[in-house]
A and B are shown apart, each in its own frame.
Chain A
Amino acid sequence: MRLMLRSYRAGDEARVVALWNRSYACYAGLATRTVEYWRWSILGRPGMSADDILLVESGEHLLGYAALWTGGKVLELAVDPDESAPLRRGVTRELLSGLEGRARAREWDSIDLLQPASDHLIDRTLRSAGYAVENGPVAIVRLLNPKALLLALTAARKARLLPLRGWSVIVILSAADDPFLLQHRLCVRFGDSIDVRDLGESQSASADAELHVSLAGLAELVFCGARARRLLEAGELDIAPDAAITKVLAFLAALAVESPWYTPLSDVF
């Protein structure tokens, strides 16, 4: 297959955005792109030259895209995830070669990319082209509205939570080192639908189990890959009665974001 590398032309936006969204659909941590957002984030960025937005095509088929910004920062790089490994490797090399050529012409010192290391093909291609992993920005999170988070997660994981039907748990949250605790007690009831209710500080309610966890502990379970059993053993969460431990751990395991977390340079705030 013959690969053609060229710069952006007006009218490419929709295809670029579609390729981007398809490439990173299975990742967490990204905002789904729209043409309007892409035009602002990439094309309209101060210092961006449209010549440095590169596309790799085969005939009419867009296979890869990358956007190079000042100082050699690659804001975005996407390669069609549905193509074969050799073709994806070839497209990545073509993009890297184009990016390096342009960066050298502008006398920039280095090329920097934020890519998901979990994409082993891209990772190996970058390493074999001489790219090394350095200390990058650290993504951090704090919870603001645990009720809304539990509603979203339990709705998305409804099928996995079916064995808990007819059961209920009260989640008692503590602030720990977070100065903002807006909800203190949440009651989660598993029925035909999953109901999450804010009990406030005083409203009484009964449930099959009680889970005590800090706001940061809940964030660790959902976003940071922490295992509930480890937190339980470390005394960072408490479950009563003991007989409910298995069900509470199953509930917490279902809340974890399992997709790899990826933030491109264009989204780093």
Chain B
Amino acid sequence: MPHDSAKKSKLSSVETRAYTIDSEPEVLAILQGAFGPAWGDQAFWRWKHLHRPGFSPQDVRVYRSADKVIGCWHMAARTLHLGRELEIAASVEGDYAMHPEWRGVGMGRDPATVREARALAERGIVARFAFTSSLLYERIYRPKLGYRRISAATALYRKLISDKALRERLQSAGERLRSRRFILKLTRDRPLVLEIEVRGFHGCALIVDAEGARCTSALETEPDLAVRVPYVLIAARTPAAAAGVMLRALFGGELQVRYVARFTRRILSALVP
């Protein structure tokens, strides 16, 4: 991380300009460099920004130094509904990316960026909104830029629908399980094999051994335990939630367990050497 004086001297070379068509390839390269190719291609960038109803070239700010694009920032002006008969002019901002060499120089607090804020206010913008992760909010957006987290009702609901996704989820659960000292002891001499059938998916085998955890579609060996569980158990996010789901499933007949005696013998043999 450069020192303050080095940062100031670096920032003094930065110019900020509105979008021009010639800056487009470099802006896209900066975005893909920061977020990966999955961010999208030129057609996506053009759709998201250039073709958005109400787009203004001022909505894209391009940071340049020595005539090279070193960063970019995007916004959309929206009339935001705040409840019945209440609306404000807002900017929704994102696609902010800097070239790796320019990260951490304090661009967000630079006087040039303060001028940008004044220009936004002159456009009638009342409040600025963005979306981020909890981690980046705590690390950057709150302490360095003064953002506050909105108390939102929005929740991300997810349901896995493919066998592949389910096996990946089970495999990471197996990895977490393997990190427990007792499971390490249990799998020291031979793998622990669980046959798992989740309603709505094909059955699979979770194999936990000294090397790691893997989930396969085919059962390669006799399982230590076989369980048939409802999908909601896989989706439970906390042990308490999982316990609640298990109890309900047990009483509802949705939870079936086989080879309990075999599994108990294996547990006991690990407990009593």
Whether the pair B164, A109 counts as a contact (CB closer than 8 A) is yes
Kindly provide the distance from the CB of B124 to the nearest chain A CB, expressed in whole angstroms.
7
Whether the pair B153, A215 counts as a contact (CB closer than 8 A) is no
Whether the pair B152, A262 counts as a contact (CB closer than 8 A) is yes
Nearest chain B residue, comparing its CB with the CB of A260 = B153
Chain B, range 91-147, C-beta contacts under 8 Å to A: 91-95, 108-109, 113-114, 117-118, 120-121, 124-134, 137, 141-147
> Hey, which chain A residues are within 8 Å of B124, CB to CB?
145, 148
Whether the pair B83, A257 counts as a contact (CB closer than 8 A) is yes
In the bound assembly, the distance between CA atoms of A145 and B134 in angstroms comes to 26
**Size bin of chain A's contact surface:** 35 or more
Whether the pair B153, A261 counts as a contact (CB closer than 8 A) is yes
Kindly provide the distance from the CB of B29 to the nearest chain A CB, expressed in whole angstroms.
19
Chain A, range 120-163, C-beta contacts under 8 Å to B: 123, 126-127, 129-145, 148-149, 152-153, 156
In the bound assembly, the distance between CA atoms of A258 and B164 in angstroms comes to 42
In the bound assembly, the distance between CA atoms of A126 and B75 in angstroms comes to 32
Most chain B CB inside 10 Å of its own CB: which residue of A177, A180, A215: A180
Q: Does B40 belong to the interface (CB within 8 Å)? A: yes
**At the interface with chain B, which of A23-31, A51-59, A244-252?**
A23-31
**At the interface with chain A, which of B6-14, B45-53, B209-217, B218-226?**
B45-53
Whether the pair A28, B129 counts as a contact (CB closer than 8 A) is no
Whether the pair B146, A32 counts as a contact (CB closer than 8 A) is no
Whether the pair A111, B78 counts as a contact (CB closer than 8 A) is no
**At the interface with chain A, which of B19-27, B60-68, B229-237, B263-271?**
B229-237
Q: Does B202 belong to the interface (CB within 8 Å)? A: no
In the bound assembly, the distance between CA atoms of A172 and B116 in angstroms comes to 23
Number of residue pairs A-B, CB distance < 8 angstroms: 261
> Hey, which chain B residues are within 8 Å of A100, CB to CB?
159, 161
Whether the pair A219, B127 counts as a contact (CB closer than 8 A) is yes
Whether the pair B127, A134 counts as a contact (CB closer than 8 A) is no
Kindly provide the distance from the CB of B65 to the nearest chain A CB, expressed in whole angstroms.
20
Contact partner of A176 among B40, B87, B146, B230, CB < 8 A? B146
Chain B, range 75-91, C-beta contacts under 8 Å to A: 75-76, 78-89, 91
Q: Does B149 belong to the interface (CB within 8 Å)? A: yes
Chain B, range 33-54, C-beta contacts under 8 Å to A: 40, 43-44, 47, 51-53
Nearest chain A residue, comparing its CB with the CB of B150 = A139
Whether the pair B132, A131 counts as a contact (CB closer than 8 A) is no
Query: Known contacts being A144-B126, A268-B131, A269-B92, is A44 close to B159, with CB within 8 Å?
Result: no
Whether the pair B157, A180 counts as a contact (CB closer than 8 A) is no
Q: Does A3 belong to the interface (CB within 8 Å)? A: no
Q: Does B5 belong to the interface (CB within 8 Å)? A: no
In the bound assembly, the distance between CA atoms of A180 and B108 in angstroms comes to 10
Whether the pair B117, A180 counts as a contact (CB closer than 8 A) is yes
Kindly provide the distance from the CB of B64 to the nearest chain A CB, expressed in whole angstroms.
21
In the bound assembly, the distance between CA atoms of A178 and B108 in angstroms comes to 10
Chain A, range 28-46, C-beta contacts under 8 Å to B: 28-32, 34, 36-37, 40, 44-46
Kindly provide the distance from the CB of A186 to the nearest chain B CB, expressed in whole angstroms.
13
Whether the pair A133, B164 counts as a contact (CB closer than 8 A) is no
Whether the pair A139, B131 counts as a contact (CB closer than 8 A) is yes
Kindly provide the distance from the CB of A71 to the nearest chain B CB, expressed in whole angstroms.
10
In the bound assembly, the distance between CA atoms of A73 and B154 in angstroms comes to 15
Whether the pair B81, A28 counts as a contact (CB closer than 8 A) is yes
Can you sample 10 A-B contacts with CB below 8 Å?
A25-B84, A32-B79, A46-B44, A109-B161, A109-B164, A132-B237, A140-B142, A144-B121, A145-B124, A257-B83
Give 10 A-B pairs besides A25-B81, A29-B154 with Cβ atoms closer than 8 angstroms.
Answer: A28-B81, A28-B83, A31-B81, A114-B157, A132-B235, A133-B157, A140-B130, A149-B88, A178-B146, A262-B154
Task: List 6 tightest A-B contacts by C-beta distance, closest first.
Answer: A178-B146, A136-B156, A132-B235, A225-B151, A109-B165, A260-B153
